[in-house]
Amino acid sequence: MTKVLWIKKGLVFIDDRFQEVDIKIIDGKIDSLHPSVAVPLQEKAATTIDASGCLVVPGFIDAHVHFNDPGRTDWEGMETGSRAAAKGGTTTIFDMPLNSSPSVTNVTTLREKKEYLSSLASVDYALWGGITETNLTNHSELEEMSSGIIAWKAFMSESGIADFPFVSPGGLEQAMQTAKDHHKILALHAEWEEEIARLTVQYQTAKGSEGRQAFLASRPISAEEKAVSHGLELAAKYGTAVHFVHISSARIIGLIDQAKKSGVNVTVETCPHYLLFDEIDFLEKGALLKCCPPLRPRSEVEGLWDCLKNGLIDTIGSDHSPCLYSMKLTPSIWEAWGGIQGVQFTWLALIDEALRRNIQLSEIVPLGTARVADRFGIADRKGRLLPGLDADVVLIRLDETTLATKESFAFRNQYSPYENKEFLLRVKKTILRGNVIFDDEENRIIEKYGREL
């Protein structure tokens, strides 16, 4: 039987602005949009969600999470990670090829990961594939993998995971060619290994609070700049579509923008932690806010917001990268695991900050919806509230708040730099393909409705 759902009387984000529109959903797809005044009478067999007082936006697409499943499920897992995503308004995630174990760098692992995850996710998902220094000459293997992944990921510096070796500057040429041949995007973790390795040796004798300062000094913006410059040069040379992940500095985003304007097929992601926290926060909180590249001075945070307002940032991903809490409590900052637990709070935190800065939500919402869908080739299903697309919808209230308490965490390990923060909004419902997967009133998550794209 046909399942009809109406979302009525909300302020709906369509064509980059909020409009009073009713959404008719049939069997999980958006069927049609209607001016709220001309709503037809209740149809038989139709369910209605009253969205009065709510902003209604497309479900967020987080193109950058590490759910560590299978292999490191004590760090996270698809079940817990995707529940946290749903609670924060995210309806689609792309899972990185590391830190699940083994890393997704060959056909067998990719196939096994797909089978294993097939019944665990509460949100829709796609998988990244990894290009490393050791698999990059395995052309037939990579070609077979390419049809089952959303895009390629490579590191230009030490990844911290033994079976995911970074690609050398020379190896990156082959990775570029491979990605180009497969018509896939190549996403890069861009820090220049030679510079970081040298500075790490120089600084890592520093311990305690001095260690924190020294850690920052060991991964300067110049190392990002060198890596991005090399990546841009090769992207231009090979005609490869490149996506720089977690860029932390406005100067680097400026470089990328120049290349983009000169015709290079390149996009750039930043993460909420670079937009919300600075190096002073890291010096105070230590490993809880350890990430690579590290947090930057306040001037860079402000610079990133300027980039965002000027349209220079393409996408925002959480880079949700958890670990056991004990791995954050190491005596030395150098040994602590780097990564931020953020998937549940990405859009709560960003929209909250945008509101405080008087930035229109129409400037920020597309960076987690339409822009991601366009870049990764899923705009025929995801990213907008338009007829024919999946009915992935989030209802948000701006007159209610969210306090990020431990009890509210849906991810596996109960710590986060967002703990005790209060956000000036609340996710009321998350809807995936016409199904309410998170309901705030009932504090209920419908599990395992997600499927692979």
Applying CB under 5 A, the span of 45-53, 198-206, 312-320, 408-416 interacting with Zn ion comes to 312-320
Q: Kindly indicate which of the ranges 51-59, 103-111, 137-145, 315-323 contains the residues binding Zn ion, using the contact rule CB under 5 A.
A: 315-323
Tell me if 127 sits within 8 A of 116, measured CB to CB: no
**Alpha-carbon span 291 to 273, nearest angstrom:** 9
Query: Would you say 252 and 221 are in contact if contact means Cβ atoms under 8 Å apart?
Result: yes
What does the DSSP 8-state code read for residue 42?
P
Phi, psi of 27 (to 5 degrees): 50, 45
Nearest to 396 by CA among 6, 13, 5: 13
Binding residue (CB under 5 A) for Zn ion from 195, 224, 314, 319: 319
Closest to Zn ion by CB, 53 vs 71, is 71
Q: Is 382 left (phi over 0), alpha (psi -120 to 50) or beta?
A: beta
Q: Which is nearer to Zn ion, 165 or 434 (CB)?
A: 165
Question: Among 68-76, 288-296, 313-321, 362-370, which window interacts with Zn ion (CB under 5 A)?
Answer: 313-321
Q: Does 22 bind Zn ion (CB under 5 A)?
A: no
Residue 76 contacts Zn ion per CB under 5 A:
no
As measured in angstroms, the least distance from the Cβ of 319 to Zn ion is 4
Stretch in the footprint of Zn ion (CB under 5 A) among 24-32, 98-106, 262-270, 311-319? 311-319
Nearer to Zn ion, 246 or 433 (CB): 246
| Residue number of the CB atom closest to Zn ion | 319
Distance CA 274, CA 414 (A): 22
Those residues with Cβ within 8 angstroms of residue 401's Cβ, 6 or more apart along the chain or in another chain: 422, 423, 424, 425, 426
CB-nearer residue toward Zn ion: 51 or 123: 123
The stretch near Zn ion (CB under 5 A) out of 77-85, 220-228, 293-301, 314-322 is 314-322
Instruction: Give the count of residues interacting with Zn ion (CB under 5 A).
Output: 1
Q: Print the binding letters for residues 261-300 with Zn ion: x by CB under 5 A, - otherwise.
A: ----------------------------------------
Measured distance CA(295)–CA(437) in Å, rounded: 34
d(CA 154, CA 104): 11
**Which stretches of the chain bind Zn ion, using CB under 5 A?**
319
